[in-house]
Amino acid sequence: MIEIIPAIDMIEGKCVRLTQGDYATRKVYNEDPLEVAKAFEDAGIRRLHVVDLDGAKAGHIVNYRVLEKLAGHTSLIIDFGGGLKQTKDVEIAFDCGAQMVTGGSIAVKDPETFTAWIARFGSERIILGADAKDRRIAISGWEEATDAELLPFIQKYREQGIEKVICTDISRDGMLEGPAVDLYQEILEAVPEIYLIASGGVSSIADIEKLAEANVPAVIFGKALYEGRITLKELERFV
């Protein structure tokens, strides 16, 4: 059964969504992320993906107080990302209640620090963020393209102990045009032992079913929920 992981992306403490990572497209869906998280919890969902978009832009953790509130007032298992560039940022995230953190830009720009996190905090608590555009890694809130190719990037960190990878196809994120199933199948064939978390493009329950049929272990989505294309009632059979 595919694991269902709704997303809460935050700017200025509010629940927002972007289209293709463009901050100019931000749309506020709820002023109170805790209200959203409690609705997920009430529907039987156990996991939550939280992204600090302010942090991603600033290069350090920003919305940690909201994380603290989400962790303190729900029993959701939270993974947190966005702006985690220094070890103290990771420590703050864990101190504020995150059970896992996601590192993307840091894994490209400072691999020594990222691998040190794996060794210090444990591979079960560190997730590799592999955000891709045209099969190359993009970083810094997707505002910066790199020459790093997606599959070798994932394979390298698998050799360093990484177990979980969130892969977002940026071209599909927020577009509600369907997930990159072929890309995820390719990753699973190349690195079958990875716990792959698909992200980007999910527009309907049918998209989640396609990912499940492709044996993708988990899926992150947000906009489809906030736009009413997927209801919490529809997700009951997955949770």
- Positions marked active-site: 9, 131
Contacts of 132 (CB under 8 A, 6+ apart): 138, 150, 167, 168, 169, 170, 183
DSSP 63: -
Phi, psi of 179 (to 5 degrees): -80, 165
DSSP per-residue string spanning 4-40: EEEEEEEETTEEEEEETTEEEEEEEEES-HHHHHHHH
Residue 213 is which amino acid? E
What is the rounded CA–CA span in Å between residue 174 and residue 171? 9
What is the rounded CA–CA span in Å between residue 199 and residue 178? 10
What is the rounded CA–CA span in Å between residue 7 and residue 134? 23
Nearest to 204 by CA among 224, 233, 175, 223: 224
* Side-chain-side CA neighbours of residue 24 (13 Å): 1
